[in-house]
Each structure stands twice: as structure tokens, then as C-alpha cells.
Amino acid sequence: MLKSKSFWIVVAFAIFTTIPFLGLTEFNTKGEPRESIVAVSMLQNGDWILPTNNGGEFAYKPPFFHWCIAATSLISGEVTLFTSRFPSAIAAIAMLIACYIFFAKRKDETTSLLASLICFTFFEVHRAIFACRVDMVLTGLIVLALLQLYKWNEKGMRGVPIIATLLMGCATLTKGPVGIILPCLTMGVFSLMRGENFWKCVWKYGLAAIISAILPALWYVAAYQRGGESFLDLVMEENFGRFMGKMSYESHENPPHYYLVSLIAGCLPWTLMLLVSLFFLKYKKPTKTLKEYWTKIKGMNPYNLFALLVIVIIVAFYCIPKSKRSVYILPIYPFLAYYIAIYAQWLLKNFPKAIKIFGWIVSSLGFLLLLAFTATKYGWIPDSVCGTGKHAIDNLRMLRALESIPISIITILFITLPAYAIWQFVRYNSEEKLSNKVLYSICAVAISIFLSLDAIYQPAILTSKSDKVIADEVSKIANGEPITSYVATYMLHFFGINWYLDDNVGVFDPDKYPNKDTKGYMLVGEKDYTKLQELYGDRYTFEEVYRSNKRSCDVKQIVLLLKYSIN
């Protein structure tokens, strides 16, 4: 495999299209700084078991992801944007390379290479790679565990799958028991469909699950000794409460068909190929019975059946809880990419026109991106397109951010990449008989679009949404004095501002800490200020000393900095 040209293409592609761009965009959502701040508190306080942050709060998730950030940050000396996102990128790269090797050995290198390129150009996967969230690390660990369990199954399930159990243990330490449940459940069903004895499956996969749980159990015991009942309540809510839809805060409740919509969006731009192909397929009434279809599925070659079961079981599993998010089903995307790669090659052979149309659609998107930037840069887009509602100022700020992108050699290189990739597509598309090169060129167009976004457009647009500028102003005014915060919404904080201020923003709660919050500076949303005055206006004096000119990406309100003192 190390001598394979395709293998090194995958490795180089995975590294050089992700790593250089991880630290370019400031935090602009509440989720990223909320996770990163846990690693900050680990390094500041030396507590790697159950650190507190955001004014004394436990992390919502187990610590493996935060350990990875903290360990990476030890090298640089501090937690940065780059080190915060590095674990997600590494997990995705490892997953991509492992999946390439897995399918290249069992199917062929061409399909495996194409599947790898497709997977990394899925919108949902690409977004998760660049996010400081637990989801991509969990996904990488689950996928790697599945591949290891499959290899163990190929060998007759002899011995103990040590690597798989370590991966499942780390997955459980990333986001809970699903890290063990999903791999063991999927492989258990796969083994039964391949004719294995039921009790042998129960024994073998049950033992693997028990061994996998040892490492997480050690942490849970240590964390419970630190956090007591408060920690236990959080664990029960994040795992069982989320599964049953009984969270004490908003938990992304969605209907079962939510995942169908998520997949349509998450698989872009390849969803467009599937859509185009519908107009070329020849339809006929099914003639086989359900039993015959079931027999055909069971008779599939092992790795195809395995890939299919991963997709079906994981989606079905996550349809059960009321809480549903598109990132929950991320582990299915490498296997979905494999099937799309097979389908794309089949279309190329039988309906090449469908591939041509799809290629032109993707190329048009790349051309429109370049055209839109040119129009914005030269002021051809009027401010009126930003609208007049509450988001108008934010939209105008993003428009100005695009206009202010400096033109340099690097900028020109990245914004013109789609043009070069489109030229390659046109070149291969004009051949009398289309080859796999046209599919690779379409992948190149999609990749070039993402590179333009990651290197040039997104850092400008999304950084304009960041709370960094607010944090900088607050830091200047407070000048080292204590800063607290008040947010009316339960379990919501100024995550971004707190991260940029090195976890130095406390929580204003005089009822809980009557002798602590006597004077200092306080962050509060413009709307929450009214409630703050109703609750504490008779006991405290509040003076507004700063008002942000943008809404916080955490509380979605204009941010006020108050100077307060007890009466």
C-alpha cells in the first residue's frame, strides 16, 4: 500500500487541504469556545479529571476531546484556534486514510480513491473537520473501531480486538456510551446476517464492549468522586435524558424525517449528481418479493454488506431519540461516499451525460463564487441586498469584510483555483470517451471551491461575526478587574468572550454567592438587562460603560458592559 500512488494522493490531499487553514477563522459560534475553554481550564488549573469553567460549570461531555486539545496546546504553550481544531482534523485524516486502505484492499484502488475524495468534499464532513467540536473525533474513533472489528471478524473473532476496544473506550470518553454501542451493535447484526451463531456474537461482542468500558469507567469513578451528585445528574441528562428527549434545556428535538433532509444537505454537492441521474434511469415495477430482496442483501459480498449496515443501523439508531442533529450521523459518510463512488462509476459507463451535466453544475458554482467575489470587491453589490431586518447590520458587516479582503499573490492563487479546476474538467469532459479522470476533475472543482472558502472567504466573513472584537474592548475597559456575566437563558454563557478573556468571566449570582458579587464589571445582553434590573435593581447600582455595535454570537443580543456595586 505504501508504494501506491493513490495512497499518497489521499494522504497529501487530506493533510494539505485541512491543516494549513485550521487557525484562520475566529470562533463565531457558541459551540467551539465552549469546548475549547475546557482545555484552557485544564492547563490553567492542572485538573484533567473534572475541570470547571465559565464561572464554575462542568463540561457537558467526557474529557477525551479536551485532553487532545490540551495535549496539542502543550506544544505551542497555549490553547489557540489552531490547537482547538487540530484534533478534529487529525481524526478526519486518520479516518480517511484508514477507509481508503480498507476499501482499496477489498474492492479496488480506483473506487477507494474516488470515495476518499467524495467523502472529504461532502459539505457535512468538511464543516465538521474545521470545527472545535467533539463530533469529528467521535466519528473518527467509531469508524476506526468499526474497521478494526470487521478485520477481527474476518479472522473468525479469535482472541480480543485490543485496538478496537481502545478506540471504543476513547469514543466513549469523547461523547458517552454510543462509542461502544454503535460499533458492537453494527458488527453484531453483520455477524448474524453472515450466519454466525447468536450466542457466539453475544459473547464475543459483549466481551469487547465490557473491555472497552474499563477505561471510561475509571474516569467516571474519578469524576464522580470530584463532582458528586451534580456530576451524576449531568451524566444522566446528557446520555439518558438526551436519548429520551427529557433535557432540562433545548436539545434539538426533530422528527424522524429530519435525517433525510440532513443527508440531502450534508452530501452536497454529490446530492446534485443523484438528482440529475434520476432523469436518466430506466424505471420498472419491482418483481421480486421482500424475501427475495432480503436474500439478495444477505448474499452481498461482506464489505458491501458491512458498509450498507453501517449506514442503515446508525441512521435507524439516531431516529429513536427525540434529540436529533445532523452531526450525529457523521460516521455513515465514509461508507455513503463508497457507494456514491460506485454509483458515479456506473453512471459514467452507462449514462455519461448525467456525469457531464453534474460536472457543469459544480463548475458553475465555482464560477459563480469567483464572480460574486469580484462583484463584491469592486462594489457592484448594493447595500440594499443586506435587507432591513434585525440581521441587516450583521449582513452588511459580512459584505464589508469581503470587500476588505486584501489582494495578494496568495489571495489570487486561492480565488482562481476553481477556474483552473474547471479548465481541467472541460479538458477531460471534451474527450470522446469519458474516463475516471472526469470524475477526479469534478472532485478537484469541489475541492478548489472549499479551498477558496477555507483560505479566503470564510476567514473574512465568519471572523466578522466573532465576539473577539467585543472581548478586546471589554478587556481594555476592565483593565484586569473582575468580570462577571448575567444571561437569562439557562446554561447559556458568553462562551466566546470568556474564551478570548482566558476563562476569566464569572457568573453573576448573588443569591448563591451573597458575599462574592459586590462590585466589578458585568456582561449582559441588551434584552437581559431589563430582567437583571427587575431581579437586582433594588440591591445593586448598574452603570453602562460599553455597548457593542454587533450582536453576540452566543446570546444573539447587543452586549452591554456594566459597572456595578452593591447598595
pLDDT of 273-331, one tens digit each? 999 999 998 888 877 788 888 888 888 999 999 999 999 999 999 998 888 899 999 99
| pLDDT for 1 | 64
Q: pLDDT tens, 490-526?
A: 888 999 999 999 999 999 988 776 667 778 999 999 9
pLDDT in the model for residue 57: 80
pLDDT at 380: 83
What's the chain's average pLDDT?
Answer: 91
The pLDDT > 70 percentage for the chain reads 96
- Output b/e per residue, 347-385; b: 16+ Cβ within 10 A: bbeebeebbbbbbbbbbebbeebbeebeebbeeeeeeee
Instruction: Give the pLDDT mean for 222-245.
Output: 73
pLDDT, mean of residues 393-402:
83
Quick one: which H or E segment has residue 564? strand 558-566
Question: For residue 418, what pLDDT band results from cuts at 50, 70 and 90?
Answer: very high
- The structure's pTM equals 0.94
Distances (CA, A) of 566 to 143, 178, 525, 537, 545: 55, 48, 20, 10, 17
CB 325 within 8 A of CB 124: no
For 331-352, what is each residue's pLDDT tens digit? 999 999 999 999 999 999 999 9
Res 177: pLDDT: 93
Q: How far is it, in rounded angstroms, from Cα 539 to Cα 536?
A: 5
Distance of CA 245 to the CA centre of its chain: 22
In DSSP notation, 372-429 reads: HHHHHHTT-S-GGGG-SSTTHHHHHHHHHHHHTPPP-HHHHHHHTHHHHHHHHHHHHH
Alpha-carbon distances of 81 from 27, 159, 540, 553, rounded to whole Å: 8, 42, 37, 17
Interval 120-156: pLDDT, tens:
999 999 999 999 999 999 999 999 999 999 999 999 9
What is the C-alpha separation between 341 and 347, in angstroms, rounded?
Answer: 10
Q: Does pLDDT of 422 surpass 90?
A: yes
pLDDT(457) > 80: yes
CA distance 318 to 312: 10
Q: Average pLDDT, stretch 538-546?
A: 93
Per-residue model confidence (pLDDT) at position 376: 87
Burial level of 88, CB count in 10 A (0-12/13-18/19+)?
buried
Residue 282 is predicted with a pLDDT of 86
CB-based contact 344:273 (threshold 8 Å): yes
Q: Does the pLDDT value for residue 239 go beyond 80?
A: no
Q: How confident is the model at residue 117 (pLDDT cuts 50, 70, 90)?
A: very high
Percentage of the chain with pLDDT > 90? 72
Q: What is the mean pLDDT of residues 30-36?
A: 94
| Crossing angle between the packed helical segments 352-377 and 417-429, to the nearest 10 degrees | 160
